[in-house]
Structure 1
Amino acid sequence: MTTVTPPANVSWVPLDFQHGPCSSSDSNAAAAAGVQPSLVDLLRQDQLRADDVQRRLQSPNSTYDESKGQAGTSGETDTSYQAKVRAQWGSRTRNRPTNEKQQGSQVSIDPAATSGDGGLLPGVIQTVVLDTASDVAWVQCVPCPVPPCHPQTDTFYDPTNSGTYAAFPCNSPACRQLGPYANGCINNQCQYRVTYPDGSSTSGTYSSDLLTLNPTTRVSNFQFGCSHVDQGNFDTQTAGIMALGGGPESLASQTAATYGSVFAYCLPPTASYLGFFVLGAPRVAASRFVVTPMLRDPRVPTFYRVLLRDIVVAGQRLNVAPAVFAAGSVLDSRTAITRLPPTAYQALRAAFRSRMSTYRMAAPKGILDTCYDFTGVRSVKVPRIALVFDRNAAVELDPSGILFNGCLAFAANADDRMAGILGNVQQQTIEVVYDVGGGAVGFRRNAC
């Protein structure tokens, strides 16, 4: 495993890919042995994810209709490359104090270390998936019988063992701001529900507790879903989701006052490498980043978008008409394959195939229609590809972000009017900085 060195005095958290031999969970034997979700399942789930993003963009006020969902027929719900981190949920005290903040919804950041703080003892480690296109963070909570909850490698979080846990009352500001995620009230405890593209869902009590990101960074009164019911199949390596979207419920929004509405991550090129996740501005010279404006739509505050202007293949611009990219591109940490307007994708495909003509083409694989048979090929040379965003912010992709299972790692949307999606395959090795407060996105190559 290749490691990266954390900078001093920042909220740095190591990040790795789900299902990889470098996985931070304890159930790595299967992944290390090569037991992976099938490519068919991965691409099917990835298409469901992309379809859901498009649906929410086109119908901002709609809610998910489970009757129209496409439940997976096999495999896991979350089978695409997933960036995951480990965080500590809750705390233990020898004498549990009265929690005076139960009626409120304020969040504070405590930079002190967890050890030696008035008898406060560590909580439990939970492995969660980073999701920039969702708002409500959640983990499975006791009681959580299996089924309907899914098995997980980490010890289940038990709120009754935490001295800092509190369920939000139904009349609390935190409960009232849940909006489409609200799910009624039980025993004066606020209930939430989140649904996902394949019809799976999580529901339970909307709560708060201490979240410890690393030994020096803690988020007091962190608001999250305490899940007691999971419908659908979820991956056993993870306990839930760490939401980073633009809604008020996300980790990014809850910590905005302290970290200036800035967070960043770097996704590793393969599961044998580590990346990182950071709250706050990066401790790297600004000159090392290329920056483009962040686009936001108040009707769909969850999403962060950028404006793609052109694509460069082997030094040659495709010169796609600017109108083709007018809808912008959503930055998504969980969609694997980048989606482009059909006109742009066809131009990219033609240029890529032209420069890969010395290799044998293979049959398409699901949504991937430009695939190659590299059997017997000792070294594969792919043409350089760069994405050019607004203000001439050109980002050259790492070679790992160009091919996926021997195929060009891009796919086409249904039509040019739909927004693109910048998937996590293309983001690999690039530090992506979300400066939400400043309305900008920064990219730094070869960061992990």
Structure 2
Amino acid sequence: MQSSLKPQSAACSGHSAVIPPHKGTWVPLYRHLGPCSPAAASTCAAKARPPPSLADLLRQDQLRVDHINRRLSSSSEGIRVSKQAGPVKEPVRSEVIHLHDQPVIQVTIGSERKTSAGGGQQSQAAGVVQTVVLDTASDVPWVQCHLSASATDITSSSSYDPARSATYTALACNSAACAELGRLYRGACVNNHCQYRVPIPSSPSLSSSSGTYGSDLLALAADPANGALSFKFGCSHAEAKQGEEGSLDNATAGVMALGGGPESLVSQTAATYGSAFSYCIPATESRQPGFFVLGGSGDPSAGAGYVVTPLLRYARVPTFYRVRLLAIAVDGQQLNVTPSVFAAGSVLDSRTAITRLPPTAYQTLREAFRSRMAMYREAPPQGNLDTCYDFTGAFLVMVPRIALLFDGNAVVALDRQGILFHDCLAFTSNSDDRMPGILGNVQQQTMEVLYNVGGGSVGFRRGAC
């Protein structure tokens, strides 16, 4: 497999995404740091912080993995999580907490009030466009809220302000929706308004987003004619402040949770969209966006080009979606790894970057990869990426093909972008074979990943964006 090492153009060639082959509601999906990202076109782009270093990205990635492992280890399901969290444990600097190149979409929230010429109040259908991070490993959607002194305050026209939305409702403490948050996400009761609290995984101190749990209209469509949905979410009054660990950067407004809990967007819209969603994350070098689909063809086997594997769940941690990896092949040759090594399964995550493998599987993959890359000069490790190369002077590099073999005879051949990351093998190891693996977004890029949550299957379609 050839991989060009020449830098790609930084310009976006257009914001029109490849239209997905589904009947559901869809929006373009961007890489947060990519040339087509809403952040790149922001008026604040000139003041944006410089891109994070690879070391920063890997630190943040490990904190994300540690959070998933903590959730699983506290579930009492016999899941093994080592006390040694991983090789990257030091706190990440606040300015890169959410600057990983993660998948983002734009949605419209609310229906803004405006004062008529006569001084009366009138409502307009359009709300405020917000850029949110797609997160398949969290349950409670939330956005940062600008709290104005009055409904006519216009100091932050780009921020969501519940006081300016004619359709916003703060949910009562005794409401069914508040009770649904449960002990994990429910906060205190303030003026009979339900409060939520969710951890921000990128902080070693488990910083959190907290505020009022409410409802408003959500428009999630490239075609606004598709209308708006009633949507419950957290109106964040307090994350860690700008400059503290856990803060969001100024180009994203919050998180669109897609996990398996009852609070997620997928669960909230199940009656309309049938508990199905998909996304395609574009390649790092791509100058066009991917897509996110809510609903559509829930059965991946009904569409051409999909390979399908069963979707597994944890009974005590319904947030996470899991698949069973059985084997790995390099250049068409299956590695000699006993299937029992993969028994803990692998969590699918849209925000973890680098795929985590059981140590036994990773060491075998690394050996096979290094043997096929022996003609290239080795480079020092980068964080927990220990198989790196110096391609100085090379124009084209022959990268070994890697395929993941899942239960159900589903063979997923990775795009070349999912094999090398910053000139390093884009996989790393867990500290114990008994720990669940994590399938990260570097390996998922360019393929559509279709979650048929209601039907219990996951479909992968190569070359979708």
Same fold (TM over 0.5): yes
The alpha-carbon distance between structure 1 residues 28 and 364, as it changes in their structure 2 partners (threshold 3 A), is: farther
Q: Which residue of 2 aligns with 1:404?
A: 421
Q: Is the 8 A contact 2:24 2:273 kept in 1?
A: no
What TM-score does the superposition give when structure 1 sets the normalisation length?
0.87
The one-letter amino acid paired with 1:263 is F
Q: Secondary structure at the match of 2:100?
A: coil
Structure 1: distance between partners of 2:409 and 2:44: 45
1:70/1:362 Cα in 2 relative to 1: closer, same or farther (>3 Å)? closer
Q: How far did residue 266 of structure 1 move? A: 0.3
Q: 187-196 or 270-279, which moves further after superposition? A: 270-279
Partner residue, 2:375: 358
Q: Does 1:88 align with 2:95?
A: no
What is the rounded CA distance, in whole Å, between the counterparts of 1:391 and 1:196 in structure 2? 35
Give, in whole Å, the separation in 2 of the partners of 1:415 and 1:76: 28
1:46 aligns with 61
Q: TM-score, normalised on structure 2?
A: 0.84
| Cα distance in 2, alignment partners of residues 354 and 29 from structure 1 | 46
- CA shift at 1:229, angstroms? 0.6
Matches within 5 A, 1:33-432: 35-60=50-75, 71-92=91-112, 120-143=124-147, 155-179=158-182, 180-197=184-201, 198=203, 199-214=206-221, 215-231=224-240, 232-270=246-284, 272-282=287-297, 286-432=303-449
- Equivalent-residue separation in structure 2 for 1:33 and 1:191 (angstroms): 32
Cα offset for 1:196? Answer: 2.2
1:298 Cα shift? 1.6
CA distance in 2 between partners of 1:188 and 1:125 (Å): 29
**CA deviation after TM superposition for structure 1 residue 380, in Å:** 1.4
Cα pair 1:154 1:239 within 8 Å, conserved: no
- Check conservation: 1:11, 1:216, Cα contact below 8 A: no
Deviation for aligned residue 1:33? 9.7
- Letter of the aligned partner of 1:338 in structure 2? T
Distance 1:202 1:74, change over 3 A: closer
Cα contact 1:154–1:238 (8 A) shared by 2: no
Q: Mind listing any 5+ residue stretches in structure 2 that lack a counterpart?
A: 1-11, 78-84, 117-121, 150-155, 241-245
Q: Which one-letter code corresponds to 2:261 in the other structure?
A: G
Shift in Å, 1:221: 2.2
* Residues 391 and 31 (structure 1), Cα distance of their counterparts in 2 relative to 1, 3 Å cut: farther
Matches of 1:9 and 1:434, distance apart in 2: 15
Could you report, residue by residue, the CA deviation over 1:186-222 in whole angstroms, capped at 9, with x for unpaired residues? 0000001111231321110000000001213344320
Give 5+ residue unaligned stretches, structure 1. Answer: 63-67, 97-117, 146-152
User: Which stretch has the larger CA shift, 295-304 or 76-85?
Assistant: 76-85
CA contact (8 A) 1:20 1:31 kept: no
Counterpart secondary structure, 2:172: coil
Query: Which residue in the other structure is 1:110 paired with?
Result: none
Q: Is the 8 A contact 1:266 1:431 kept in 2?
A: yes
Letter in 2 for 1:206: Y
Equivalent residue number for residue 13 of structure 1: 27
Count matched residues.
415
Q: What's the Cα RMSD here?
A: 2.5
Q: Give the AA of the match of 1:235.
A: D
Alignment partners' CA distance in 2, 1:81 and 1:278 = 20
Judge which range, 263-272 or 294-303, deviates more.
263-272
State whether residues 123 and 166 of structure 2, in contact with CA within 8 Å, keep that contact through their aligned partners in structure 1.
no
The code of the aligned residue for 1:128 comes to: V
Q: 1:141–1:158: 8 Å Cα contact kept in structure 2?
A: yes
- After TM superposition, give the deviation of residue 365 of structure 1 in Å: 0.1
Q: Residue 348 of structure 1: SS of its match in structure 2?
A: helix
Once the 2 structures are TM-superposed, how far is the Cα of residue 27 of structure 1 from its aligned partner? 3.0
- Give a deviation string over 1:169-196, Cα, whole Å, max 9, x none: 0000000010111011100000011112
Note the C-alpha offset of 1:297: 1.3
CA gap of 1:135–1:358, structure 2 versus 1, over 3 A, is same
Looking at structure 1, the residues matched to 220 and 170 of structure 2 have their Cα atoms a distance apart, in angstroms, of 21
Partner amino acid for 1:166?
T
Q: Secondary structure at the match of 1:178?
A: helix
Deviation for aligned residue 1:259: 1.1
CA separation of 1:410 and 1:249: change in aligned 2, threshold 3 A: same
Q: Which segment drifts farther, 321-330 or 71-80?
A: 71-80
Aligned counterpart for 2:451 among listed residues 434, 438, 441: 434
Change in Cα spacing, 1:20 to 1:144, as seen in structure 2 (3 Å) is farther
Inter-CA distance 92–30: structure 2 relative to 1 (3 Å threshold): closer
2:229 & 2:235 partners in 1: Cα distance? 16
> Identity, % of aligned pairs?
60
Counterpart of 1:65?
A: none
SS at match of 1:41: helix
Matched residue of 1:395: which SS? strand
In the alignment, which residue of structure 2 is the partner of 1:112? none
**Secondary structure of residue in 2 paired with 1:171:** coil
- Letter of the structure 2 residue corresponding to residue 213 of structure 1: L
Q: Matches of 1:144 and 1:93 in 2, distance apart?
A: 13
